[in-house]
Amino acid sequence: MQDVTKSDLIIRIAGEGGEGIISTGDFITQSCARAGLEVYTFKTFPAEIRGGYAMYQLRTGPHPIFNQGDTFDVLCAFNGEAFDLNRERLKPGSVFVYDSPGGNFEPDIPHGVHAYPIPMTLTARELNSPRAKNMVALGALSRLFGIPEAALREVFSAKFSRKGEAVAQANLAAFERGVALAAALEKTDPYTVAAPETKRDQIVMSGNHAVGLGALIAGLDFFSAYPITPATEVAQYVSKHLPKLGGTLIQAEDEIASISQVVGASYAGKKSMTATSGPGLALMSEMLGMAFMSETPCVVVDVQRGGPSTGLPTKHEQSDLFLAIHGSHGDAGRIVLSAENVQDCIDLTVDAFNLSEKYQCPVLLLSDSSLAFSTQNVPYPNPDGYSRVERKRWDGEGEYRRYAHTADGISPMVDPGTHGGMHIATGLEHDEAGAPNYTSANHEAMQAKRFGKLKRAIDDFPAVEVDGEGEAEFGVIAWGSTIGVVREALQRLRAEGLRVKGFYPKLLWPLPVEQFEQFGASCNRLLLPEVNYLGQLAHFVRAETRLRPESYTICGGLPFTPDMIVCKIKEMLA
Ligand code: COA
């Protein structure tokens, strides 16, 4: 048997949308996490509700995991397409579990691959539960790779018992047949799920749910939802929990209505948000300008997907940065944050509310489709550990002027109906009292006021994380979920003796220019990998700083892998 020194295991399950691929992966993920292991998942599925290629990749092990990994150790294919699409990655030593006999394909298995045929379709049919094909596969995987079986049974029983006793029993029977089928095979590969070191107080969440949780922690009062892949689960999560906390969620008729309701509710004194994806954000751009002009706090989460237009609705891309930073007419400002992982989705959502309330401006939080659907471990969240900022409100003294020029640049707000607090709320340029005023001196002073306060967000926000010390041959600037990939790539390069450093900004606008330049000064060369065609952050870095990072862009609907970054840097150093 080959010596496997890696401590993690990567299992990829692939087949057709509707075959229960996602559920199968989720069951394994939940059971590994319950057993105390770290998990990081990546899912890709078709835009169709049924049919098309669906894939779930789970990486699990006892140590922190930052990304989905380079490739899989174990491929479980439910059909011929899943085999065809992954055949090239079946290297000697890897494992292939597949539907046979009775499946729709007879694969020509590459030399040196450990192959385990499991009659998934046939067994499910024999049991009169064709839907339970995935459970036959799950039983087999559980036995072959030592997936914590007790936890697995708990997890899937809980899910299927909600669908009725008959469904639960049929799936249990299929699972047990899968276990027995695998037990009858000789195990030739060395892979097993690692034994956990200690059980920790952790939960497993997706990026979308974590955004919802962060909003609740921040004190969300009002959410206006309009469904769009891959953001819909944020609203689904909030709709379950917000009413219990006294808040309100409304489904609007479209994204323009959504953002308008959010701005209106915030004007009425409520902490408000919406979540959308690129096409929805494009529709919201006018109202974001209005929120900036009227200095109304609001939070918009943009779960990026492949664009432009309807684009690749279920695929990964980081291509909304131009839109997020400058998507409005006129000179309109906002704060833009970007999340690396599930923990960030909680923390930065709280930050988004705090910055928005403090600076009375729109704050956009960027996530992306792989992060939205990725499930990861996070320490059990403690809402009391977060600070919550409330907007500056008028103290009732003197004459109320909504847009008063103040020493700190922030004008006190009033809730509508406050005695003496009457003012005009308008998207027109206005004077300190809110009355329309188009004089050049007033417009210049008001723009300076609105933009001036935004810059201060840089000092409010934690310093950008620098990964590595001293002078480096290579510095890598990364944003969003690409950061997790770069972390691992740099670890590997350092292990080979290369001097490399990483720079991971989470506040993307206003750009912390000085910190970028300080980092750049400590590196001979800079690389900026991002998943978009135009090199959007690289563009801003070149425009705003003296740095000239080299762009590395991909836009194939999938995230980078650590190996891609390692190879690129070696190629550039050669
Ligand atoms: N017995 C009974 N039910 C089972 C089962 C089993 N053995 N295995 C899975 N299921 C159920 C699941 O519980 C789920 O039902 P639920 O939603 O009530 O929980 C359903 O079958 C689908 O299974 P799941 O594992 O979640 O997904 P899948 O791997 O079969 O893939 C999707 C289906 C998710 C790819 C597809 O339905 C989808 O949603 N595509 C995306 C559509 C989209 O967003 N388009 C973009 C428009 S712009």
Which residue from 266, 412, 413 is spatially nearest to 352, judged by alpha carbons? Answer: 266
CB distance 49 to ligand 1 below 6 Å: yes
Q: Does any ligand 1 atom lie closer than 6 A to the CB of residue 523? A: no
| Protein residue with its CA nearest to atom 37 in ligand 1 | 49
Peptide bond between residue 313 and the one before it cis (omega within 30 degrees of 0): no
Ligand 1 lined by 210 (C-beta under 6 Å):
no
* CATH 3.40.50.920 residue spans of the chain: 464-573
499: Cα within 13 Å, side-chain hemisphere: 9
Distance of alpha carbon 50 from alpha carbon 38, whole angstroms: 31
What is the distance in A from the centroid of ligand 1 to the CA of 23?
7
State the span(s) of the chain assigned CATH 3.40.50.970: 204-385
- Atom nearest to 26 CA in ligand 1: 25
| Model pLDDT for residues 271-309, shown as the tens digit of each residue | 999 999 999 999 999 999 999 999 999 999 999 999 999
Using a 6 Å cutoff on CB, does residue 483 contact ligand 1?
no
Amino acid letter, residue 228? I
Q: Provide, for the chain, the percentages of residues in helix, strand and coil under a 3-state DSSP scheme, each rounded to the nearest 5.
A: 40, 20, 40
Instruction: Give CA–CA dist 419/421, Å, rounded.
Output: 5
3-state secondary structure 54-102: EEEEEEEECCCCCCCCCCCCEEEECCHHHHHHHHHHCCCCCEEEEECCC
182 contacts 139 by C-beta, under 8 angstroms: yes
CB of 288 within 8 A of CB of 296?
no
**Is residue 156 lining ligand 1, measured as CB closer than 6 Å?**
no
Q: Is the CB of 167 under 6 A from ligand 1?
A: yes
Count of helix runs (H) and strand runs (E) in the chain: 19, 20
Band of residue 234 on the pLDDT scale cut at 50, 70, 90: very high
User: Crossing angle, helix 207-218 and helix 232-241, to 10 degrees?
Assistant: 40
Tell me the CA–centroid distance for residue 26 and ligand 1, in Å. 11
For residue 22, report the distance from its CA to the centre of ligand 1, in Å. Answer: 7
Cβ 229 under 6 angstroms from ligand 1: yes
Q: Which fold has domain 9-183?
A: Pyruvate-ferredoxin Oxidoreductase; domain 3 (3.40.920)
Cβ(133)–Cβ(20) under 8 Å? Answer: yes
Contact 280 CB / ligand 1 (< 6 Å): no
pTM of the model: 0.95
Does ligand 1 lie within 6 Å of residue 17's CB atom?
yes
Q: Are 389 and 460 spatial neighbours (Cβ–Cβ below 8 Å)?
A: no
Substitution site in 12, 21, 23 for ligand 1 pocket (most atoms within 8 Å of beta carbon) = 23
Q: Would the pLDDT of 365 be above 70?
A: yes
3-state secondary structure 169-223: HHHHHHHHHHHHHHHCCCCCCCCCCCCCCCCCCEEEEEHHHHHHHHHHHHCCCEE
Q: Hey, whose CA ends up nearest to atom 46 of ligand 1?
A: 47
Residue 114's SS3 state is: strand
Cα 223 to Cα 353: distance, rounded to the nearest angstrom? 13
How many other CB atoms are there within 10 angstroms of residue 200's CB atom?
13
What pLDDT score does 1 carry?
34
At 336-348, the pLDDT tens digits run 999 999 999 999 9
Judge if the beta carbon of residue 503 lies within 6 A of ligand 1: no
DSSP assigned state of 409: S
Q: pLDDT digit string (tens) for 525-557? A: 999 999 999 999 999 999 999 999 999 999 999
What CATH number belongs to 464-573? 3.40.50.920
Residue nearest to atom 39 of ligand 1 (CA): 49
Q: Determine the Cα–Cα distance for residues 555 and 355; give it in Å rounded to an integer.
A: 31
* Ligand 1 closest atom vs CA 23: 25
Mean pLDDT value across residues 314-330: 96
- The residues, any chain, with a CB within 8 Å of residue 483's CB and separated by 6 or more, are 66, 340, 341, 502, 504
As a whole number of angstroms, the distance between CA 55 and CA 102 comes to 21
Q: Hey, what are 405's tokens?
A: 């020029």
Which CATH number applies to 204-385: 3.40.50.970, 3.40.50.2300, 3.30.870.10, 3.40.640.10?
A: 3.40.50.970
Distances (CA, A) of 350 to 61, 212, 242, 356: 29, 10, 15, 10
- What is the position in ligand 1's atom list of the atom closest to the CA of 52? 35
**Stretch 559-574: mean pLDDT:** 96
pLDDT reported for residue 196: 72
What's the Cα-to-Cα distance from 255 to each of 258, 266, 276, 557, rounded to whole Å? Answer: 5, 16, 8, 24
* Mutation to probe ligand 1, out of 19, 21, 22, 232 (largest number of atoms < 8 A from CB): 22
Q: How many CB atoms lie within 10 A of CB 269?
A: 16
At 174-211, the pLDDT tens digits run 999 999 999 999 999 999 998 876 767 889 999 999 99
The verdict on the CB of residue 211 being under 6 Å from ligand 1 is no
Has residue 50 got a pLDDT over 90?
no
Q: How many other β-carbons are positioned within 10 Å of the β-carbon of residue 546?
A: 11
pLDDT of 3 > 70? The answer is no
Which residue intervals of the chain bear CATH 3.40.920.10? Answer: 9-183
